[in-house]
Amino acid sequence: MSNLDRAPVPGVCGGRGFVVAEPVRELLSPRQVRLGESTEVRRLLPNLGRRMIGAWAFVDHYGPDDIADEPGMQVPPHPHMGLQTVSWLHEGEVLHRDSTGSLQTIRPKELGLMTSGRAISHSEESPRPHARFLHGAQLWVALPDAHRHTDPRFEHHPGLPTVTAPGLTATVILGGLDGTASPGTTYTPIVGADLALTHGADVRLPLEPDFEYGVLAMSGEVHVDGVPVLPGSLLYLGCGRAELPLRAESDAELMLLGGEPFEEELLMWWNFVGRTQKEIEQARDDWMTGSRFGEVKRYDGDPLPAPELPPAPLKPRGRTR
């Protein structure tokens, strides 16, 4: 998923100094962002109040959208570096192409995991023909310094492990939950899980006290630690929790995102995660000159041009604004 903002705001994320070291209930409201021709997303991270949750550095929620008579998702080839992208669907399909030669249709509850490493480019589009509804989330995971120059790769995991309890089925997307681990490659202690709750479910989900957590509401009516969280909003929970109370007022679906607070400071601009302004400037030049990021073949359209860098130097702002 690309950040298609033509005037992206730079910022530095990461660093443990801004982590909330105790349980909190911080409700984050989304920002509406147009993505491609017909898809509007709700951007939860980075947010006016918070930039990261563990290594999770970018979260978009979209749909459910009726795209029966629309082209659906149409994101032209664009670059990434220094991160992993996570594609997660509840309805619809997304066709992924990238510069390593990967071509894969991603369907509901299947993990599409792309590690950009030093450089990759990819496109995302609704297949033709495609399902009537499109609903899902796109997320980025920041790579630590030791692994951010790794070779690019794409993984597709159609079958993922689950954790169950009365009224709850948790699909482990990335990392581990309650002793169950996803097959997706990770580079930091992290968890991403899809939580499906039945109407009336009242459960306590085991957590790691050293992790910080957030919950993205996908659908339904649910109370998270007593806080009603509406679809398309995200509740930041801080650290220091051994369990999380969940109560479903209807059938509901959530995404649990968490991990050890990310120790390094990151410079994020457009679709790049780096450490210095020089790295960001070089990445933009490399994309615009057609070097380093490779080519997405057989995409019907032109690559996405990079926006102009802001005139002022990119400055650190920390994990929160």
Comparing CA positions, the residue from 167, 161, 239, 184 lying closest to residue 207 is 239
Comparing CA positions, the residue from 159, 168, 3 lying closest to residue 178 is 168
Residue 57 in tokens: 């550095």
Residue 14 has a pLDDT of: 54
Comparing CA positions, the residue from 175, 176, 59, 183 lying closest to residue 110 is 183
Q: Decide: residue 93, CB within 10 A, 0-12 exposed, 13-18 middle, 19+ buried.
A: buried
DSSP 286: H
Neighbours of 225 (CB within 10 A): 18
Residue 176 has a pLDDT of: 98
8 Å CB contact between 97 and 78: no
Residue 49 has a pLDDT of: 73
* Rg, the chain, Cα only: 18
Q: Which amino acid would we find at residue 61?
A: H
CA separation for the pair 97, 299 (Å, rounded):
8
Distant-in-sequence, close-in-space partners of 161: CB < 8 Å, separation ≥ 6: 171, 172, 180, 181, 182
Residue 321 has a pLDDT of: 47
CA 235, 240, 246 angle in degrees (round to 5)? 45
DSSP 289: T
**Total length of the chain:** 321
Residue 7 in tokens: 């005037």
CA separation for the pair 10, 75 (Å, rounded):
21
- In tens, the pLDDT along 289-311 reads 999 999 999 999 999 999 999 88
Alpha helices in the chain (DSSP H): 277-288
| Residues in the chain, pLDDT under 50 | 6, 15-17, 318, 321
Residue 37 has a pLDDT of: 61
CA separation for the pair 272, 56 (Å, rounded):
14
Residue 107 has a pLDDT of: 98
CA 192, 45, 224 angle in degrees (round to 5)? 55
- In tens, the pLDDT along 204-241 reads 999 999 999 999 999 999 999 999 999 999 999 999 99
For 105: left if phi > 0, alpha if psi spans -120 to 50, otherwise beta; the answer is: beta
Neighbours of 151 (CB within 10 A): 10
Residue 54 has a pLDDT of: 97
Residue 313 has a pLDDT of: 80
pTM: 0.92
Residue 97 in tokens: 């192409």
- Buried-exposed string 97-114: b where 16+ CB fall within 10 A, e elsewhere: bbbbebebebeebbbbbb
Residue 93 has a pLDDT of: 98
Residue 243 has a pLDDT of: 97
